[in-house]
Amino acid sequence: MAVKRTTLKDIASQVGLSPGTISRALADHPDISDETKSRVREAAQAMSYIPNYRARYLRAKHSRLIALIVPEMNMFFVPSMIAGINHVVQQNDYSLIVFQSDNSIVQERRLAEYATHLSADGVLLVLSSETSDLQHLDVLHDFGIPVVLLDRTIETTKYTTITIDDEQAGREAARYLMDRGHTRIVGVFGDQRQRISSMRLEGFRRAHAERGLPLADSQILRVTMIDDLAKQFDDAFAAHPDLTAFFTMTDDLLVHTHYLLARRGTRIPEEVSLMAISDGEAPSFLHPNVTHLRHSGVEVGERTAHLLIGMIEHNSDAMMDVRIRTTLVELGSVAVRAKPPKKRVKS
Amino acid sequence: MAVKRTTLKDIASQVGLSPGTISRALADHPDISDETKSRVREAAQAMSYIPNYRARYLRAKHSRLIALIVPEMNMFFVPSMIAGINHVVQQNDYSLIVFQSDNSIVQERRLAEYATHLSADGVLLVLSSETSDLQHLDVLHDFGIPVVLLDRTIETTKYTTITIDDEQAGREAARYLMDRGHTRIVGVFGDQRQRISSMRLEGFRRAHAERGLPLADSQILRVTMIDDLAKQFDDAFAAHPDLTAFFTMTDDLLVHTHYLLARRGTRIPEEVSLMAISDGEAPSFLHPNVTHLRHSGVEVGERTAHLLIGMIEHNSDAMMDVRIRTTLVELGSVAVRAKPPKKRVKS
DNA sequence: ATATGTTGCGCAAACGATTGCGCACTCGTT
DNA sequence: AACGAGTGCGCAATCGTTTGCGCAACATAT
């Protein structure tokens, strides 16, 4: 059934030339006469020749393969990030190999090695939550394979990273709410082992400090498993009758917080305002639409891929840290409150 | 900077043996003495030898590469499907290469060809919405590369397909609502060029016919672009004051329908019930949680990958159509209505 | 006619790993 | 001592392409 693939040699014997000549003819090499070229092209067409990239790239130093390692397939952010990466990668005639580390550092190391087995030209890596140092990436570094760390990273001077300014984003969100009169804001944050979580929380904290607003620990919800949220949520309501706003640091946390508010019968934004850092999808199908700091997965993906391909093709080992700006998208989930009772006359 | 990769030859000259022997030693070939084996292993370790899969698979007939072509990265279903596929693929020591066709048949053809360039061992394909015949896959078929079509397919006797029983699912959903007294149900369907949409609609229709219920055309919302939904939605409400339930055929349509209901201030399920075909994520963060026919992306992915790997490894070209069952998950979004006035004795 | 250049192609070596075959050597058996 | 059967390894071909070098044939310039 399966037709054997035609090779250069097959074409060569067909048209009575040598394989080398066929290769050059197909590559439009100047050494080959136009007449021969067209004869070869016809034959190749007729025999439905398909080049064997495996053999080609065995000789060449590169493979035109880019490996992406993600901790898991979240329904938020990751898909759009992959879409963005894939777009650029395909446009540049690379292929994307996707791996999941399942948030395990052992897997992550294994996959990094695997990437070198395949001689990937570059590696894109979203760190697992277990990862606290980068030694297991030495294989890549030693072989000079460019690596870009994105989204979830840790501090490093060895690898290029692409992130948003997490601290700034956390701060900006809090300030946005404060500017609209909210003084008791509950922040919903993820796994604190991740830099992305700790930094956003840090910014959230700083905004409070700058405004001289108190920030009780019970105002900070630290969610590792999503089921942790419900209980902390109720506690926060109990502890803070003056609670008027929620901030969630990811889409995941946003939709669940939104759900809990709905279940509680709390009206948004009349009773409680809601704000998030988001890639913009969820805010558009939640009611009311959610004001957020937009952090586009597609953009992150595209820029990352561009950067990596640049590193590959210019053989650059310059290290850099790219910060992507978030943009504020104002929708209907935040209400303006009267300013806090600081010697204000009730009107 | 970049260390040159060590090869078998390097190890060979290091320990004073031939490359062939090194290869066999590392492969634990019985011809090689235990003492040599351990010497070789040590040297390999010390020189941090990494096998070149590219070279290895050039000789072998296979590549242990599986290509997945999806039309787009939807936030629903596709991610969990990829997760499922990846899981099985990684467990079996294959790698997954992901391509996006951007719903273009031209791209789809190009990518199928590309997969043969890379000598992928198998191809997983979710058809683009433009695709109406399968000629462009002949490259794959001719070279005997196993192909499995999943989720969005068209009729074919040439390729193995994995789908849910779409017609049955549409029918079952409608019947579920009817059994609870709903007689005026609005169905929200996707792009009618896709079999997945037309079949689910077909089942929805059949359920109505079987129960002798009228089904006006305005009860059927056909949504190609998501923005089409809002207008049709309002029209449906205007046309059918007796409307008591919505059925959405995907998660995508579910979240937007849910949003429109919320915006309209319609209470679920008191005023209008809601039911969907879903992979279960969205129903858990929408309020109230949505009763649905579950269609697990992970399961689809895993079974598909298993099937493909089986085909690859047993060299089977048997064609089959696998139907995955949906399971009913009853949550809070469907209310029971009084049965229609058909001479029933109220008990 | 000699030197110089150009054109168009073949030869053969790589890339790195695998593997059928052969060969030298050891050991045990008769 | 002769034979047979292992044991442990090397040789070299192979997978399909690419590419530096060489070379013959022919053209052009002295």
- At A87-110, the pLDDT tens digits run 999 999 999 999 999 999 999 999
CB pairs under 8 A between A and B: 143
Amino acid at B189: F
Q: Look at residue A22 and tell me whether its pLDDT is greater than 80.
A: yes
Mean pLDDT value across residues B307-335: 91
Strand partners, B145: none
CB nearest A285 (choices: B2, B255, B287): B255
Q: Look at residue B346 and tell me whether its pLDDT is greater than 50.
A: no
CB contact under 8 A, A96 and B97: yes
CB nearest B118 (choices: A53, A98, A145): A53
Mean pLDDT value across residues B198-226: 96
Q: Look at residue B98 and tell me whether its pLDDT is greater than 80.
A: yes
Q: What is the pLDDT of residue A155?
A: 85
User: To probe the interface with B, which of A48, A98, A248, A289 has the most B CB atoms within 10 Å?
Assistant: A98
Q: What is the pLDDT of residue B324?
A: 93
* B-chain residue closest to A67, CA distance: B97
User: What are the start-end ranges of the E strands in A86-151?
Assistant: 95-100, 122-125, 147-150
Q: What is the pLDDT of residue A2?
A: 65
Q: What is the pLDDT of residue B1?
A: 53
**pLDDT bucket at A345, cuts 50 / 70 / 90:** very low
Helix or strand (DSSP H, E) at B205 = helix B195-211
Q: Is B116 helix (H, G, I), strand (E, B) or coil?
A: helix
More confident residue, B4 or A63: A63
More confident residue, B190 or B193: B190
Closest CA to A174 of A295, A275, A254, A296: A275
- At B121-157, the pLDDT tens digits run 999 999 998 888 999 999 999 888 999 999 988 888 8
CB contact under 8 A, A86 and B97: no
Q: Is the dihedral angle over the CA atoms A104, A108, A109, A110 positive or is it negative? A: positive
* B-chain residue closest to A74, CA distance: B79
Q: What is the pLDDT of residue A337?
A: 82
What DSSP letter does each residue of A158-204 carry, written as one string? SSEEEEE-HHHHHHHHHHHHHHTT---EEEEE--TTSHHHHHHHHHH
CA gap B275, B289 in Å, rounded: 10
Q: What is the pLDDT of residue A1?
A: 54
CA gap A270, A292 in Å, rounded: 17
**pLDDT bucket at A307, cuts 50 / 70 / 90:** very high
Q: Look at residue B202 and tell me whether its pLDDT is greater than 80.
A: yes
More confident residue, B11 or A347: B11
Mean pLDDT value across residues B86-91: 96
A218 touches strand D (CB under 7 A): no
Q: Look at residue A347 and tell me whether its pLDDT is greater than 80.
A: no
- At A38-72, the pLDDT tens digits run 999 999 999 999 999 999 999 888 899 999 999 99
Mean pLDDT value across residues B159-177: 96
B18 touches strand D (CB under 7 A): yes
Q: Look at residue B100 and tell me whether its pLDDT is greater than 60.
A: yes
Chain A nearest-CA distance from B72, in A, is: 7
Q: What is the pLDDT of residue A20?
A: 92
Q: What are phi and psi of A74, to 5 degrees?
A: -70, 150
Least confident among A217-226, B28-37, B115-124, B245-254:
B28-37
A18 touches strand C (CB under 7 A): yes
Chain A nearest-CA distance from B176, in A, is: 25
